[in-house]
Amino acid sequence: MAERRFSLVLHDIAPETWPDYRGFVEAIDQLGERYGPIPITWLVVPNFHGRGECRDSRTLRSVLDARLAGGDELALHGYFHRDDAPAPRTLRDFYMRRIYTWEGEFYTLDYQQAGAMLDAGMTQFESCGWPHGGFVAPAWLMSQGTRRALRERPFTYTSDPQHLYRLPTFSSLDAPSIVWSARSAWRRGMSRVVSAVQYRRFQHASMLRLALHPVDMRHRPSYAYWLKLVEHLLQQGRLPVTKQAWLANWAPDLAADDLANRANKDRPAA
């Protein structure tokens, strides 16, 4: 059987969310002392909710510089991580933008808007000396304009809840995620059940992503779940990797004709 791997992914990294994650990252590093290094993929929001740029935070920059030097990965995760578009006009849009999430920043953007936001994010990464290999849209929601803009920029991958997509072709690779919704007690209770189902469904996947959020760190059940799951995966023999490392070194290659077919399928209509 081919070696199975997992990626520990911390969403919504910003100056105000780093205190939520600090204790958990320290606990992960302690596990690493027993099982070997556990690299982390950090999804960095350049100006989270418009409340301060990452490049202005000496504390966060110091943390991320050190983690990057130690083998972790930084990926661009939107820009403001909030939906500033005009009010929804359809029931579907209302559900996606007000019930499913209030933070689907790239869900409605056209090509020009998406390109400008991506460029601003890359500029901030570059000002910090950080590579910008991957891009993950907030809530994994992307418009066709965003997809078009991504094809024209030097990102190596993007993702949705079930796949990683190589760029610029958008060729897909199975990489399912486990994710919690921890904003309320009933959501945390439901997430415990759903995550158990997800794990049973995905336990044989060659790549499994753990999608953590700052709110998960604020509640004992979700915090404990993630820490126990990481240790369980290590005990089961899964190898921890960043998403970028998996794509570069272990992801299955796709035949050239398959790449072309997938690219044509995903290309927006003229």
Indicate the pTM of the whole model. 0.88
Chain position carrying tokens 């690219």: 263
pLDDT value at residue 140: 93
**Is the separation of the CB atoms in 209 and 242 below 8 Å?**
no
Can you give the CATH number for the domain in which 119 is found? 3.20.20.370
Name 76's bridge partners.
44, 135
Q: Which residues contact 239 (CB under 8 A, 6 or more apart)?
A: 3, 4, 5, 6
Q: Using the CB atoms, write b or e for 215-248: b if 16+ within 10 Å.
A: bbbebeebbebbeebbbebbeeebebbbbbbbbe
Q: What is the pLDDT of residues 103-146, one digit of tens each?
A: 768 888 999 999 999 999 999 999 999 998 999 999 899 999 99
Instruction: Give the pLDDT of residue 187.
Output: 76
pLDDT tens digits for range 201-228: 999 999 999 999 999 999 999 999 999 9
List the domain range (segments joined by +) for residue 40. 5-266
**How many folded domains does the chain comprise?**
1
- DSSP-derived pairing of the beta strands 163-166 and 157-159: antiparallel
How many residues are recorded in the chain? 270
Higher pLDDT, 88 or 114: 114
Mean predicted confidence (pLDDT) in 230-249: 96
* Each residue's pLDDT tens digit, 46-60: 998 888 899 999 999
